[in-house]
């Protein structure tokens, strides 16, 4: 079954890559969402600081969920609404259909509701004889072609205007122009009788407020106001996690939704509803029914990793930044809930098998967490989904090989130069591709027989200047600097020592991030615990920890604290980990002569460097040496994603290049003479994809 699953997923990826029209349209839309968000945040007081408040609200309200639910029910019913708590999808569907049949209703008009999508209520209502029409334009387009949403916020983003014109031509039986104003006239004419003829209006809710018993609905088309107000009965279906404590909590989420999704401030229509009044002069009674859905949410709340999924406010920002989603879209990267957040949600509400079918599309870049308004650790939740899959399905050979990278690096170094000859031999690489799954097209770095650890250990005395050291620095070399580029590690040590630091190289293992990326969380925790133990005494004594590899620093500061929440020393190690070049900026004197003056360089910030400083220290260090540094970015990953881009085929090398294409073109068009990045794996990808020279910052010292 796993082999068949990978074949099916690979075929879908290939189909997306070979359809440049749709792929480019999707990329442009996602980039527009990222760019408008970034521009809006420049004008928002506090910038991204609102994310801390959103996270705090969700954590507090999920912790108080049972009490808030009881208050919400009491206050909603005081205002005349009927509240039903549905334990699962079947209960919510049965309640809705029974209500419609009891009231003799036939026509149901819906506004956009992800929760009703989750339980697939439309199919059952139609089967029961009800006419159900989606009135949100994107959802209507999807309904007319019987597809699932492509995106949480933009469900039909994959449809071009010509596609939409053809869809409405079939729906109306008349030729429809693809001219946008004319097309919208047709849509309005199509929907008007549906709004006016509906007996039941069905909506979701962005927020429920325990304090007042009100629900909050946000739309850009205003259709939810029509749906919820015209029919004699209004039914709202919302997840239990949507309930917050106060109106102030709700207003913060009303800010966070649109600014995160598309840079709007606020959504065009924000409706707060509590109960319903009689309609017209005859005082015809009208009912309001609120179905609060569990469907696995209480179970999620009890899981230490998965409970963060309940913090999701359904803004879709994670999809806008996800590198692989931006190529393949939601029909490949999703079941009903698409994108990064769709993986844990699918696992919890639709089943592990559904989530496993697309979980491998997460390449663990971590960007979804960095853009999320609630700061949800999606990469770690997705790693948990992958871990569950490994319990029943063995990992592919290539994933197992990449998780064993430290063993292979030791072997490659011990057998150099024979290993390096083999890596350049076409026959050996073909066999390696077929046997292990490492793409033969990927140029792999040569191994050094004389590792950094050996070089450092055989020195008779440190090279530090005399006197009390400015800092005691523990150097964490990780794999690349030890086995492939020991010269880089030595340059870093020599500069630190020359600037008055005392450098030690403690016992250590590779940072272990591939274990997280491929779902072996038990091995990841073991490695994390060992490295924390090795570094503990140094950190507790006030020493600094530095590494030339951004992913290793990310592990210390971000991943290890999440993996080891009860470890007494992990926070100390995280706090004492510093950026190598920020430290050099502090301890080195400004050079009398700028050795890089006149050099025009393009800087690439690896994904794992973004949450720990965006490489600002590195760029400033290069500028102090005289270089002109241009930050070149597309707002998402280069595509390499650690070891992902080494893998053969569509779920690896091919997809990595499709993701990287826009960045490659941006570098080539920038006019810079070379690319600079601290990431060993990004440098491999950029060198091949952009066909440009790529340097580690320390490499430039030898050229000056």
State pLDDT tens for residues 512-563. 999 999 999 999 999 999 999 999 999 999 999 999 999 999 999 999 999 9
Contact indicator for 506, 540 with CB cutoff of 8 Å:
no
Considering the segment(s) 58-295 as one domain, its CATH architecture is 3-Layer(aba) Sandwich (3.40)
Task: Provide the pLDDT for residue 283.
Answer: 67
Rounded-to-integer distance, Cα 501 and Cα 473, Å: 7
Quote the distance between the C-alpha of residue 643 and its chain's center: 18
Contact indicator for 676, 601 with CB cutoff of 8 Å:
yes
Residue 643, Cβ density class (10 Å: 0-12 exposed, 13-18 middle, ≥19 buried)? buried
Rounded-to-integer distance, Cα 156 and Cα 162, Å: 13
Domain spans, the chain: 1-43+308-394, 58-295, 450-589, 593-704
Structure tokens at 136: 């949100």
Rounded-to-integer distance, Cα 61 and Cα 692, Å: 50
46's CB contacts (< 8 A; 6+ apart) are: none
Q: Which one of 3.40.50.850, 3.40.50.1860, 2.40.50.1020, 3.20.20.70 gives the CATH number of domain 593-704?
A: 3.40.50.1860
Task: Provide the pLDDT for residue 464.
Answer: 55
- Whether 280 shows a pLDDT value over 90: the answer reads no
pLDDT over 90, % of the chain:
88
Contact indicator for 544, 472 with CB cutoff of 8 Å:
yes
Structure tokens at 132: 């159900």
Structure tokens at 46: 């506090």
Q: What pLDDT digit, counting tens, does each position of 642-653 carry?
A: 999 999 999 999
Domains 1-43+308-394 and 593-704 share a fold: no
User: Can you point out the beta strands (E) in 119-163?
Assistant: 131-134
239-242 own/partner pairs: CB under 8 Å, 24+ apart? 239/115, 239/292, 239/293, 239/295, 239/297, 240/65, 240/69, 240/85, 240/292, 240/293, 240/294, 240/297, 240/298, 241/62, 241/65, 241/297, 241/310, 241/311, 241/312, 242/205, 242/206, 242/207, 242/208
Q: What pLDDT digit, counting tens, does each position of 236-252 carry?
A: 999 999 999 999 999 99
Give 285's pLDDT tier (boundaries 50, 70, 90): confident
DSSP state of 174: S
- In the chain, the largest separation of any two C-alpha atoms, in whole Å, equals 98
- Angle CA 595–596–601, to nearest 5: 170
Structure tokens at 631: 């930050």
Query: For residue 657, how many C-alpha atoms fall within 13 Å in the half-sphere facing its CB?
Result: 18
569-573 own/partner pairs: CB under 8 Å, 24+ apart? 569/532, 569/533, 569/536, 569/539, 569/540, 570/528, 570/532, 572/536, 572/539, 572/540, 573/531, 573/532, 573/535, 573/536, 573/539, 573/545
Say if strands 600-603 and 674-676 run parallel, antiparallel, or are unpaired. Answer: parallel
- Whether 176 shows a pLDDT value over 70: the answer reads yes
Reference 535, options 507, 566, 493, 498; nearest CA is 507
Give 152's pLDDT tier (boundaries 50, 70, 90): confident
Task: Provide the pLDDT for residue 282.
Answer: 67
1-43+308-394 belongs to CATH 1.10.3470: no
Class of domain 450-589: mainly alpha
Rounded-to-integer distance, Cα 534 and Cα 528, Å: 10
Query: For residue 214, how many C-alpha atoms fall within 13 Å in the half-sphere facing its CB?
Result: 15
Contact indicator for 233, 289 with CB cutoff of 8 Å:
yes
- Whether 185 shows a pLDDT value over 90: the answer reads yes
pLDDT over 70, % of the chain:
97
Task: Provide the pLDDT for residue 381.
Answer: 97
Alpha helices in 145-179 (DSSP H): 161-172
- Whether 123 shows a pLDDT value over 80: the answer reads yes
């Amino acid at each position: 079954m796993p082999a068949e699953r990978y074949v099916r997923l690979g075929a879908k990826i290939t189909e997306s890559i070979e359809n440049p029209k749709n792929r480019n349209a999707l990329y442009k839309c996602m980039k527009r969402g990222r760019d408008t968000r970034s521009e809006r945040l420049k004008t928002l007081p506090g910038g991204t600081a609102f994310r801390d408040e959103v996270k705090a609200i969700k954590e507090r309200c999920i912790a108080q969920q049972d009490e808030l639910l009881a208050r919400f029910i009491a206050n909603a019913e005081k205002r005349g609404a009927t509240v039903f708590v549905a334990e699962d999808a079947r209960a919510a569907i049965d309640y809705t259909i029974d209500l419609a049949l009891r009231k003799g209703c036939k026509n149901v008009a819906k506004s956009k509701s992800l929760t009703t999508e989750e339980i697939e209520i439309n199919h059952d209502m139609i089967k029961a004889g009800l006419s159900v029409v989606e009135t949100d334009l994107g959802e209507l387009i999807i309904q007319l072609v019987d597809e699932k949403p492509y995106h949480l916020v933009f469900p039909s983003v994959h449809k071009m205007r010509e596609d939409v014109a053809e869809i409405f031509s079939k729906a109306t039986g008349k030729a429809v122009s693809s001219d946008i104003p004319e097309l919208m006239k047709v849509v309005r004419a199509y929907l008007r009788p549906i709004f006016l003829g509906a007996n039941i209006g069905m909506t979701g809710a962005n927020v429920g407020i325990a304090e007042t018993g009100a629900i909050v609905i946000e739309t850009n088309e205003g259709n939810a106001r029509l749906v919820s107000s015209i029919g004699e009965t209004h039914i709202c279906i919302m997840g239990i996690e949507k309930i917050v404590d106060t109106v102030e909590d709700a207003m913060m989420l009303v800010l966070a939704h649109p600014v995160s999704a598309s840079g709007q401030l606020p959504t065009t229509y924000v409706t707060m509803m509590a109960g319903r009044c009689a309609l017209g002069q005859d005082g015809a009674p009208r009912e309001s029914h609120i179905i609060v859905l569990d469907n696995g949410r209480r179970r999620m709340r009890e899981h230490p990793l998965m409970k963060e999924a309940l913090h999701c406010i359904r803004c879709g920002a994670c999809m806008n930044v996800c590198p692989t989603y931006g190529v393949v879209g939601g029909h490949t990267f999703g079941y009903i809930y698409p994108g990064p957040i769709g993986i844990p949600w699918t696992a919890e509400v639709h089943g592990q098998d559904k989530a496993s079918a697309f979980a491998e599309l997460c390449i663990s870049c971590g960007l979804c967490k960095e853009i999320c308004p609630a700061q949800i650790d999606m990469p770690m939740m997705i790693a948990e989904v992958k871990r569950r899959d490994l319990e029943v399905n063995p990992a592919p050979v290539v994933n197992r090989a990449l998780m064993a990278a430290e063993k292979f690096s030791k072997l490659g170094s011990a057998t150099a130069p024979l290993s390096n000859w083999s890596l350049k031999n076409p026959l050996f690489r073909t066999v390696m591709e077929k046997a292990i799954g490492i793409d033969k097209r990927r140029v792999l770095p040569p191994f050094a027989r004389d590792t950094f650890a050996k070089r450092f250990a055989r020195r008779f005395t440190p090279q530090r200047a005399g006197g009390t050291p400015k800092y005691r620095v523990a150097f964490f070399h990780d794999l690349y600097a030890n086995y492939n580029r020991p010269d880089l590690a030595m340059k870093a040590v020599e500069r630190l020592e020359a600037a008055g630091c005392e450098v030690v190289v403690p016992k250590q293992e590779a940072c272990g991030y591939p274990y997280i990326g491929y779902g072996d969380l038990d091995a990841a925790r073991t490695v994390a615990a060992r490295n924390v133990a090795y570094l503990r005494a140094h950190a507790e004594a006030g020493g600094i920890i530095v590494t030339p590899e951004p992913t290793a620093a990310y592990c210390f500061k971000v991943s290890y604290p999440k993996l080891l929440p009860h470890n007494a020393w992990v926070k100390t190690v995280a706090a004492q980990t510093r950026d190598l070049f920020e430290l050099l900026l502090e301890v080195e004197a400004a050079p009398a002569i700028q050795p890089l003056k006149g050099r025009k360089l393009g800087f690439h910030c690896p994904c794992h460097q973004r949450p720990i400083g965006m490489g600002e220290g590195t760029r400033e260090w290069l500028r102090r040496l005289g270089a002109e540094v241009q930050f070149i970015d597309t707002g998402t990953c280069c595509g390499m994603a650690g070891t992902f881009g080494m893998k053969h085929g569509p779920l690896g090398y091919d997809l990595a290049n499709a993701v990287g294409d826009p960045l490659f073109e941006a570098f080539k068009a920038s006019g810079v003479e070379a690319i600079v990045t601290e990431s060993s794996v990004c440098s491999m990808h950029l060198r091949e994809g952009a066909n440009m020279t790529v340097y580690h910052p320390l490499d430039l010292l030898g050229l000056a």
